[in-house]
Amino acid sequence: MNLYNLTIHQAHQLLKSKEVSSVELTKAVLKRIAEAEEKVRALVTVTEESALLQAEQADQRIRAGDFTPLTGVPAVIKDNMCTKGIRTTCSSRMLENFVPPYDATVVEWLKDAGMVMVGKGNMDEFAMGSSNEHSAFAITSNPWDLGRVPGGSSGGPAVGVAVGEAIYALGSDTGGSIRQPAGFCNIVGFKPTYGRVSRYGLVAFASSLDQIGPMTKDVTDSALVMNFIAGYDPRDSTSLNYPVPDYTKSLIPDLKGLRLGIPKEYFVEGMQQGVEEVMRTAIAKLEELGATVDWEVSLPHTKYALAAYYLIAPSEAMANLARYDGVKYGFSYEGESMWDAMERTRELGFGPEVKRRIMLGTYALSAGYYDAYYLKAQKVRTLIKRDFDEAFKEFDVLVAPTSPTVAFKIGEKVDDPLQMYLSDIFTLSLNLAGICGISIPCGFAEARVSASLPVGLQIMGDAFAEEAILRVAYAYEQATEWHKRRPVL
């Protein structure tokens, strides 16, 4: 087996038994990056020098017996999380040369655990997109079909994990940006409860929706990473001071006594036939494993989620991106006057999708429209949250597709924003409600002119129900082989 295809727990056993050193493992991953990067363009920055130094330090820790399950294991961090001394671009010209003076909390905590960071993952600019086509630097390709998108906005980290450019990665999820690319790339993508993982040092897109989470090769690895990134951080005002369990203890291979609901609003007209067939087979497997399944669950306000999301998220983005004025940091244009400089800085520094969302947000928050749009969207958000609250009184988890289709072709939707936004229709409700979800591999569906492409099974849980969704995900994974399939470049 190639070292770059190892999971965290497999790598940990080899490192612990001294069969492999962290330097050897890191060199194998860096060699894989050199081989694969030209085809997939998953990374914005490769940190070879610092990675090898971290690997040497990890080997010293292992020899001294002072190590964790993550010590010496190579990772990719999405390029919207601050990394001290290493540029953090958000895949935008605006921050192309920005080097943060500090680490994001999650990066700091992973470094404490012995992480080896091999690079920063490509993404849609400022995390605004569902396909990774909105990066200012390169379009990332789906490794299962290089002519297709990997999903977004965490497309780079997803592809990095899928092809072995990292053993695991961290992504961020504002409306599905961890789960949707995980589904498209046949990996595991985990979105924790809002406030469960610190956002300090995450470059903000929509502050009431953003959440950091792991992207891994299997469910065990997601639980392991969550053990190190979850927890209270006083530097993040939205961080929740709530006990953190050992997530690996919820990895039980049967579902006896668990109640699963299938929301009918997630099986919609226009959904790809192959995706629905794969989903029904996966749900039947969950029943086989002992779960009670109910197909008659309703989340009636789901149909308004897309409209509510695309008023709330751009409004918050507009407020957050106002800081890029060419004065404090980032790209700066020398204009004839202060106003000219600011206007040209933003014109040249931001890409078209970011500008589109700034304009949407400005309109939604403007005088005369605030009540009609933004305020109404927030009221709808409350109704969506209530739907989930009612469902979780009756069910332990809800199960649905991660996306209505398999990965689409590069260029297919980039000129049609509404079609692009619809690709997040099954994921963004969780962000509006602030609850947790995971996407796991559950099969392959035929694309029209392509080989079979991955389908993701989305398992949704209430706030702080991470253990329940991990249990369901783990039981399904152990009973199937889908997560073991790797793309051939």
Mean pLDDT, residues 235-240 taken together? 96
Instruction: Identify any residues that bridge with 27 across adjacent strands, giving them in sequence order.
Output: none
Whether 198 is a known active-site residue: answer: no
Mean pLDDT is lowest, of 10-19, 165-174, 409-418, for: 409-418
Q: Which residue has the tokens 């998108």?
A: 149
Active-site residue flag, 141: no
Catalytic choice (21, 22, 78, 198): 78
Q: How far is CA 212 from the centre of its chain?
A: 7
DSSP string, 181-220: HHHHHTSEEEEPPTTSB--TTBPPSSTTT-EEEEEESSHH
Inform me whether the pLDDT recorded for 164 exceeds 80: yes
State how many domains the chain has: 1
CA distance 427 to 420: 13
pLDDT of residue 127: 96
Cis bond upstream, residue 153 (ω within 30): yes
pLDDT value of position 111? 98
Q: What is the DSSP letter of 374?
A: I
pLDDT digit string (tens) for 180-234?
Answer: 999 999 999 999 999 999 999 999 999 999 999 999 999 999 999 999 999 999 9
Express each pLDDT in 41-91 by its tens digit.
999 999 999 999 999 999 999 999 999 999 999 999 999 999 999 999 999
CATH code, domain carrying 204: 3.90.1300.10
In the structure, what pLDDT confidence band is assigned to residue 268 with cuts at 50, 70 and 90?
A: confident
177 classed as catalytic: yes
Q: Is the pLDDT of residue 353 over 60?
A: yes
**What is the residue whose two structure tokens read 């199960």?**
399
Choose, from 21, 177, 250, 423, the residue flagged as catalytic.
177
Report whether pLDDT(20) > 70.
Answer: yes
In the chain, pLDDT over 90 holds for what percent of residues?
85
Contacts of 211 (CB under 8 A, 6+ apart): 172, 173, 174, 191, 192, 193, 194, 196, 197, 199, 431
Q: Does 289 score more than 70 pLDDT?
A: yes
pLDDT at position 119 = 98
Active-site entry in 21, 131, 141, 153: 153
Question: What is the extent of the structural domain holding 400?
Answer: 1-489
Reference 448, options 186, 267, 271, 272; nearest CA is 272
| 38 pLDDT more than 90 | yes
Q: Band of the pLDDT at 428, cuts 50, 70, 90?
A: very high
Rounded Cα–Cα distance for residues 281 and 276 (Å):
9
- The per-residue pLDDT for 448 is 56
**Taking phi first (over 0 means left), then psi (-120 to 50 degrees means alpha), and beta for anything else, what does residue 457 get?**
beta
pLDDT for the residue 35: 97
Whether the predicted pLDDT of 136 surpasses 80: yes
Task: Report the range of poorest mean pLDDT among 8-17, 29-38, 258-267, 358-367.
Answer: 358-367
CA–CA gap between residue 434 and residue 192 (Å, rounded): 9
Based on its alpha-carbon atoms, the radius of gyration of the chain, rounded to whole angstroms, reads 21
CA 25 vs. chain centroid, Å, equals: 24
Mean pLDDT score of the chain: 95
Mean pLDDT of 309-315: 94
Q: Are 119 and 140 in contact (CB under 8 A)?
A: no
**Range from 120-124, 180-184, 418-422 carrying the lowest mean pLDDT:** 418-422
* DSSP track, 13-78: HHHHTTSS-HHHHHHHHHHHHHHHHHHH--EEEE-HHHHHHHHHHHHHHHHHT---TTTT-EEEEE
